[in-house]
C-alpha cells in the first residue's frame, strides 16, 4: 500500500500540528496530502501562540502531532501534560532521528512516534491510521455514553457535538458557556436562550440569534466576532461564536488604562464600527462588554441581537420600545427616536470617557434619570491633562447627531491624529 493508494477508501483526516519550523510544517503537509489529498492540517506555533488552553482536548482532530523540540520547549514534555488530560486526542511525537529511549517514553504515555525517516515512508500513514482508529473509537464512546451525553448538555438544552466546559455568564434572556466544538476543533462560546421557543416572548430569541448569525456571516470582517453555528435543541435556541480567552474591554478596564491604550482602543473600535456601518448595520448596544479582546491585540464587536440591519430589513425590537444600556445610549436612542450610525459614535464617546477617567459621564439612581441626563446635562469634561482629547469627545458626544462626526471613518481619523500627537509629545503613559 502506498501513501496515495489509501486515499480512495478513507475520508478526510484532520490533524493539529504543534511545530514552530515553517519549513518542517510545509514538508509534513506535503507528506500528509500525498496520503490523503483532502486532509486538513492546522498548525499551532508554540512559541508565537503559547500553550494550548487547559480545557482543550482536541476532540475535533483525529490526532495531534508534536515536534520533538522547538526554541524553549520539547514535544515530549507537552505530550506528558496533554496525555494527562482525560479524553485528549491521540498524540504523535515527530522525532528528527530514531531514538529508542524517546520512543519508549512516548509509548509509556500512550503516544505514537514517527521519525524523519518514517515520515518519508508508509510508516507515517500506518501511524496516522492507527491514531485515527483510536480517536474514532473514543468519539463513538463519548457520543453514546451517559457521561458523554451529560457533557453535551447546556442547561436544559442537549447540543450534539459540543462539550460543555463551564458557564461563563448568565444574562437576562440567555446563558453563555465556554465549550469545545468537534467541528471547529477549538474552544467556542456557546449562547443558549433561557426561554423555550414554544413560549411567547417580547423579542424572540431565535430571531435575535439568527440576526447575529446573518450579520456576522455577511460582514466577515476581523472586527466582528466569528460565528460558527446556529440551531434549536429541546426548544432552546443556541448560537456558537468565537471564544475570547482574554475577555472583554470591561474586564480590561478593571485595571487602569494609559491614555495611549485608551486612544488605541478607541481607534480600533471606530474602525470596527466603520466595517459594521459599511455593511448597513447599526450596533445599538455598543459598550465595553461588547468589545472583545483577542490574544493578537485586535478587537471584535459582539452581540448584534439588538442591531438594526438595513440589508436584512430586520429590526427585532418592537416599535416604541427602548433597548440597549442606558449609560451608553445616545439621547435619541434613549427617547426611542430614529437612529443612524452617529448613535453608535455617541456610545464610543461614552466608552472613551470611561477609559480615560475610570467613570461614566452621567450617573443617577435609575435608568430613566440617566437617559434624561444624556439629553439635558452639559457635555462631560475630561481632566485637564486630556485637554487635547476634549474636542474629539465633544464631537462624539454632541447632543444632536448633526453635530457629531459624519461617520466612523471620520471619527477614527480624528482619534488617530490625536493619538499621533499624544505620542509625538512623548506622552506615552
What are the cell numbers at 409? 471613518
pLDDT at 152: 94
The separation between CA 52 and the C-alpha centre of its own chain, rounded to angstroms, equals 15
Judged against a pLDDT cut of 60, whether residue 1 lies above it is answered with no
Question: Quick one: three-class SS letters along 339-381?
Answer: CCHHHHHHHHHHHHHHHHHCCCCCCCCCHHHHHHHHHHCCCCC
Domain topology for 151-242: Phosphorylase Kinase; domain 1 (3.30.200)
Burial of 278 (0-12, 13-18, 19+ CB in 10 A): middle
The separation between CA 352 and the C-alpha centre of its own chain, rounded to angstroms, equals 23
Instruction: Say what the pTM is.
Output: 0.84
pLDDT at 428: 55
pLDDT at 195: 67
The stretch 30-56 carries a mean pLDDT of: 93
Residue 23 or residue 201, greater confidence = 23
Lowest mean pLDDT among 14-28, 293-307, 351-365: 293-307
Helix ranges (DSSP H) in 145-258:
146-151, 205-219, 249-252
DSSP code for 8:
G
- Computed on alpha carbons and rounded to an integer, the radius of gyration of the chain in Å comes to 26
Cα distances (angstroms) measured from residue 30 to each of 11, 26, 121, 177? 18, 6, 13, 37
The mean predicted confidence, pLDDT, of the chain is 88
The stretch 283-294 carries a mean pLDDT of: 94
CATH 3.40.50.2300 corresponds to the domain 4-144: yes
End-to-end CA distance of the chain: 64
> Are 247 and 293 contacting, i.e. CB atoms less than 8 angstroms apart?
yes
| Closest among 307, 300, 283 to 225, alpha carbons compared | 300
Residue listed under C-alpha cell 429541546? 234
Which CATH architecture fits 249-424? Orthogonal Bundle (1.10)
Q: What residue spans define the domains of the chain?
A: 4-144, 151-242, 249-424
What are the cell numbers at 411? 471619527
Choosing from 175, 248, 285, 344, the catalytic residue is 285
**Count of residues making up the chain:** 429
In order, the DSSP letters of 131-188 are: HHHHHHHHHHHHHHSHHHHHHTEETTEE-TTEEEEEEEEE-SSEEEEEEEETTTTEEE
d(CA 210, CA 230): 7
DSSP code for 52:
P
pLDDT at 11: 60
What confidence tens digit (pLDDT) does each residue in 351-393 have?
Answer: 999 999 999 999 888 889 999 999 999 999 999 999 999 999 9
> Are 128 and 92 contacting, i.e. CB atoms less than 8 angstroms apart?
yes
| Closest among 286, 372, 392, 365 to 331, alpha carbons compared | 372
> Are 373 and 362 contacting, i.e. CB atoms less than 8 angstroms apart?
yes
What confidence tens digit (pLDDT) does each residue in 235-285 have?
Answer: 889 999 999 999 999 999 999 999 999 999 999 999 999 999 999 999 989
Judged against a pLDDT cut of 50, whether residue 202 lies above it is answered with no
Burial of 87 (0-12, 13-18, 19+ CB in 10 A): middle
Judged against a pLDDT cut of 70, whether residue 203 lies above it is answered with no
> Are 224 and 275 contacting, i.e. CB atoms less than 8 angstroms apart?
yes
pLDDT at 317: 45
Please, what's the b/e burial string for 97-121 (b: 16 or more CB within 10 A of its CB; e: otherwise)?
A: eeeeebbebbeeeebbbbbeebbee
pLDDT at 217: 86
Judged against a pLDDT cut of 70, whether residue 62 lies above it is answered with yes
What confidence tens digit (pLDDT) does each residue in 85-129 have?
Answer: 999 999 999 998 888 899 999 999 999 999 999 888 899 999 999
The stretch 140-158 carries a mean pLDDT of: 91
Cα distances (angstroms) measured from residue 396 to each of 132, 259, 380, 407? 56, 17, 11, 10
For this structure, is 285 an active site residue?
yes
d(CA 138, CA 273): 44
Beta bridge partners of 237: 232
What confidence tens digit (pLDDT) does each residue in 162-184 have?
Answer: 999 999 988 777 899 999 999 98
Residue 213 pLDDT level (bands cut at 50, 70, 90): confident
Residue 336 pLDDT level (bands cut at 50, 70, 90): confident
**3-class secondary structure, 7:** helix
pLDDT at 6: 39
| Closest among 64, 40, 44 to 52, alpha carbons compared | 44
The stretch 333-342 carries a mean pLDDT of: 91
Query: Does the fold of domain 151-242 match that of domain 4-144?
Result: no
Amino acid at each position: 500500500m502506498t501513501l496515495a493508494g489509501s486515499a480512495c477508501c478513507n475520508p478526510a483526516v484532520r490533524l493539529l500540528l504543534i511545530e514552530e519550523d515553517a519549513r518542517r510544517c510545509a514538508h509534513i503537509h506535503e507528506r500528509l496530502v500525498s496520503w490523503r489529498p483532502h486532509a486538513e492540517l492546522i498548525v499551532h506555533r508554540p512559541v508565537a501562540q503559547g500553550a494550548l488552553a487547559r480545557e482543550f482536548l482536541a476532540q475535533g482532530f483525529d490526532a495531534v502531532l508534536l515536534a520533538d523540540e522547538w526554541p524553549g520547549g520539547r514535544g515530549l514534555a507537552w505530550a506528558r501534560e496533554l496525555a494527562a488530560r482525560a479524553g485528549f486526542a491521540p498524540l504523535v511525537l515527530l522525532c528528527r532521528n530514531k531514538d529508542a529511549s524517546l520512543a519508549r517514553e512516548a509509548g509509556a504515555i500512550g503516544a505514537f512516534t514517527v521519525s524523519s525517516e518514517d515520515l518519508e515512508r508508509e510508516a507515517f500513514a500506518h501511524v496516522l491510521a492507527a491514531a485515527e482508529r483510536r480517536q474514532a473509537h473514543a468519539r463513538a464512546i463519548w457520543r453514546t455514553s451517559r457521561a458523554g451525553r451529560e457533557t453535551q448538555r447546556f442547561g436544559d438544552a442537549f447540543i450534539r457535538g459540543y462539550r460543555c466546559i463551564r458557564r461563563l455568564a448568565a444574562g437576562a434572556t440567555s446563558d453563555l458557556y465556554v465549550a469545545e466544538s468537534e467541528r471547529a476543533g477549538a474552544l467556542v462560546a456557546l449562547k443558549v436562550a433561557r426561554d423555550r421557543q414554544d413560549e411567547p416572548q417580547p423579542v424572540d430569541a431565535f430571531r435575535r440569534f439568527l440576526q447575529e448569525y446573518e450579520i456576522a456571516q455577511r460582514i466577515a470582517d476581523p472586527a466582528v466576532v466569528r460565528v460558527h453555528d446556529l440551531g434549536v435543541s429541546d426548544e432552546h435556541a443556541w448560537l456558537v461564536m468565537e471564544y475570547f480567552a482574554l475577555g472583554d474591554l470591561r474586564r480590561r478596564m478593571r485595571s487602569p488604562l494609559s491614555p495611549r491604550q485608551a486612544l488605541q482602543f478607541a481607534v480600533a473600535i471606530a474602525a470596527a464600527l466603520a466595517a459594521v456601518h459599511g455593511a448597513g448595520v447599526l450596533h445599538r448596544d455598543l459598550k465595553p462588554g461588547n468589545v472583545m479582546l483577542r490574544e493578537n491585540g485586535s478587537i471584535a464587536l459582539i452581540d448584534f441581537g439588538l442591531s438594526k440591519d438595513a440589508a436584512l430589513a430586520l429590526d427585532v425590537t418592537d416599535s416604541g420600545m427602548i433597548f440597549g444600556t442606558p449609560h451608553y445610549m445616545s439621547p435619541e436612542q434613549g427617547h426611542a427616536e430614529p437612529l443612524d450610525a452617529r448613535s453608535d459614535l455617541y456610545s464610543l464617546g461614552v466608552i472613551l470617557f470611561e477609559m480615560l477617567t475610570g467613570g461614566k459621564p452621567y450617573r443617577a439612581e435609575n435608568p430613566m434619570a440617566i437617559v434624561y441626563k444624556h439629553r439635558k446635562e452639559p457635555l462631560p469634561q475630561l481632566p485637564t491633562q486630556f485637554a487635547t482629547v476634549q474636542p474629539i469627545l465633544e464631537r462624539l458626544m454632541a447632543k444632536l447627531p448633526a453635530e457629531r462626526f459624519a461617520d466612523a471613518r471620520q471619527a477614527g481619523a480624528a482619534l488617530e491624529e490625536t493619538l499621533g500627537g499624544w505620542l509625538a509629545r512623548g506622552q506615552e503613559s
